[in-house]
Amino acid sequence: MLVLSIRDLSAEGKPIDVPLDPGAVHLEGEEEFTLEGGRLVGRIEKGEDKAIHFRGRLQARLGLLCGRGLEPFVKELDEDLDLFFMPRGAQPDPDEEEQEVELSDRDMVVAYYDHDRIDLGEMVREQMHLALPLRRLCGEDCRGLCPSCGVNRNTGSCDCQPTETVEDERLAPLRKIFDKGSS
């Protein structure tokens, strides 16, 4: 299970080793990707003031559509995670300010949890979004779709003329003038 009660956690920590499924990771309504499988492995422990520390690894296979050719492809995620969770509404003690700076220096993400429970599925979903590439291409050399007929140029070919020759009609009078000048 990815939902953990804070009461069940201790300073000794609890091992996590959970296969990921779309339900546990809250992917209902997710349009960016599908989850083809994955696993969350690590250790979760409770520190002072109900601060929770999770350290581990997220491995997942995400199904995406290529932004250029629309062909489906799989993106493998393999992320090391080192995350802190604090109870929401906990007022930072002014005396502890130094300690907080220390946390951010170590580049750790601090999230908040409610009602004494942590949903690691929620965290996993966020991590997946963070790890998605901005340009979703099945490969750097993807040739995409033909803008005229829509054939996927990676897997097929067509007889369409290169798009550069498609002319804007509004420019035709102008083009005529230049054609005259050059002849």
Which residue stretch of 26-34, 84-92, 127-135, 148-156 sits at the interface with Zn ion (rule: CB under 5 A)?
148-156
Rg (CA), the chain: 26
Taking the complex as a whole, how short is the minimal distance between the CB of residue 149 and Zn ion, in angstroms?
Answer: 3
For residue 138, state whether it binds Zn ion (rule: CB under 5 A): yes
* 149 scored as a contact of Zn ion (CB under 5 A): yes
Please give the structure tokens belonging to residue 89: 């509404």
> Do residues 75 and 35 make contact, with C-beta atoms less than 8 angstroms apart?
no
Tell me whether residue 123 or residue 138 sits nearer to Zn ion (CB atom): 138
What are the angstrom distances between the C-alpha of 40 and each of 32, 132, 155? 20, 17, 36
Nearer to Zn ion, 58 or 138 (CB): 138
Binding flag, residue 146, Zn ion (CB under 5 A): yes
Q: Which stretch binds Zn ion (CB under 5 A): 19-27, 41-49, 130-138, 169-177?
A: 130-138
Tokens of 43: 């250790």
CA distances from 118 to 68, 106, 113, 125 (A): 38, 22, 6, 13
x/- mask, Zn ion, residues 34-73, rule CB under 5 A, reads --------------------------------x-xx----
